[in-house]
Amino acid sequence: MNKIGLSARPTLELVDDFIERKVRERGEAMDRTGEFDRDLLDEAASLGLTGMLFDDSLKPDLSSMPLAHDMAERLAAVCAPLAMQIGVLRIVGYLLARYATQDVQDRWLKSTTEGKTYGSFALTEPHAGTDLRSLSTVAVRSGDTYLVNGRKCWVGFAPCAAYAIVLCKEGSAARDAKTLALVVDMESPGARGVWGPELSGFRGMPNGELFFENVTVPVENALRVEGFDGMMDGLNMARIEAAAYACGLLRGALEEAVYRASTRKAFGGKIADLPSIQMKLGRMRAAYHTARELTLKACRSYMEGRGGDQDLISIAKMTASDLARLHTDEAMQIFGAAGVTLHSRVERLHRDSKATQIFDGTSEIHETMVGRRLVSAFERHSGKDFIDQLA
């Protein structure tokens, strides 16, 4: 196995410099056009951002996860789709490194960690979003291959992925059918990826649909883990990444709101001197702090292994994204009419924050899962000390 040669690991200073040199301006342009800026992702990858969660032998190494999330936060504050592009490549790379056969790793892992090859993480279907058990992409085994039929939607990198890690049912679409995660070569006959509808948030993230019509996939391309479990491991990592993007959107809202409040004059003074504006800023600051702390806690739990603490991950993801939506709205309010100008930064942060409440599990499903586990903790500990049993 070739070494990736990441002895020079990226630093926050390097990322800050990249942001000021390129990302801030390109991020604005990406939002206007909705086009994927490959050159920007190439430079991010050349700085080592796509390879951060791997050691020099391409084994998963999560020790730099908190730093990776600090970087994702800073990038998301100025260009959320770039943060997401990097995040998706880290997640598919992690799944390959952890669960794929050596042959599959040899084919795609190194180039993924280097940002030269794109992989999709494909769960959602037109009739299976939150309710993933109802998915109907089916892989039927015949000798050494699977025959795959189905369709995935809203998938990152779908229009340009070299491969996709696809959650399928084995044999039939029955609700309780066994699942498997197949690494599908998107150049296989019958496989294709296309752009989906134009999105209002994370514009510039190539997102779309994957179609599989009688696609033959070698048996060894299955991840060596039960499909649903393996994808949940990736999804938990994605949820913590999503929380970090939301922290970035809060960071951007704070930067913009404090600047505007301190420079906008009304009634002979700065609007920042008005108690009602200071209260908004105070809440926004508290929200940013809360979201960061929760994200870090979720991240630490993931680093400990076994997929992390599901409660902490859900709480971080839903809280950070809901707070991002609330406070990017407040930031727009502080801007007055200028805040509702299409493609202004606060207006973009607000659109991006809406998407964070939807992908990687909606806020509703996270609150439901946390609530369900709370009730079950109460029942398990006969009511008495159940609060102390929670993380």
Ligand X SMILES: Cc1cc2nc3c(=O)[nH]c(=O)nc-3n(C[C@H](O)[C@H](O)[C@H](O)COP(=O)(O)OP(=O)(O)OC[C@H]3O[C@@H](n4cnc5c(N)ncnc54)[C@H](O)[C@@H]3O)c2cc1C
CB of 24 to ligand X, least distance (A): 21
DSSP string, 109-123: HHHHHTTSS-EEEE-
DSSP string, 296-359: HHHHHHHHTSTT--HHHHHHHHHHHHHHHHHHHHHHHHHHGGGGGSTT-HHHHHHHHHHHHTTT
**Can residue 200 be called a binding residue for ligand X (CB under 6 A)?**
no
Relative orientation angle of helices 345-356 and 227-263, to the nearest 10 degrees: 160
Q: Which of 118, 154, 288, 302 binds ligand X (CB under 6 A)?
A: 154
CB of 71 to ligand X, least distance (A): 20
Q: Which of 64, 179, 207, 301 binds ligand X (CB under 6 A)?
A: 207
Q: Which of 362, 374, 377, 386 binds ligand X (CB under 6 A)?
A: 362
From the CA atom positions of the chain, what is the Rg in Å? Answer: 21
Contact window for ligand X (CB under 6 A) among 154-162, 179-187, 258-266, 377-385:
154-162
Closest-CB residue for ligand X?
129
Contact window for ligand X (CB under 6 A) among 19-27, 110-118, 150-158, 187-195:
150-158
**Can residue 313 be called a binding residue for ligand X (CB under 6 A)?**
no
User: Nearest-CA neighbor of 257 among 279, 237, 241?
Assistant: 279
Give 127's DSSP letter.
Answer: T
CB of 130 to ligand X, least distance (A): 3
**Can residue 121 be called a binding residue for ligand X (CB under 6 A)?**
yes
**Phi and psi at residue 218, to the nearest 5°:** -60, 145
CB of 364 to ligand X, least distance (A): 3
Binding mask 71-110 for ligand X (x = CB under 6 A): ----------------------------------------
**Can residue 156 be called a binding residue for ligand X (CB under 6 A)?**
yes
How far is the C-alpha of 380 from the C-alpha of 375, rounded, in Å? 9
Q: Binding residues for ligand X, how many (CB under 6 A)? A: 21
The number of C-alpha atoms within 13 Å of 256 and in the hemisphere containing its C-beta is 27
CB of 91 to ligand X, least distance (A): 9
Contact window for ligand X (CB under 6 A) among 55-63, 103-111, 199-207, 329-337:
199-207
Closest to ligand X by CB, 20 or 364: 364
Q: Are 227 and 179 in contact (CB under 8 A)?
A: yes
Restricting to residues 125-144, which ones interact with ligand X according to CB under 6 A?
A: 129-131
Tell me the sheet residues that pair with 141. 146
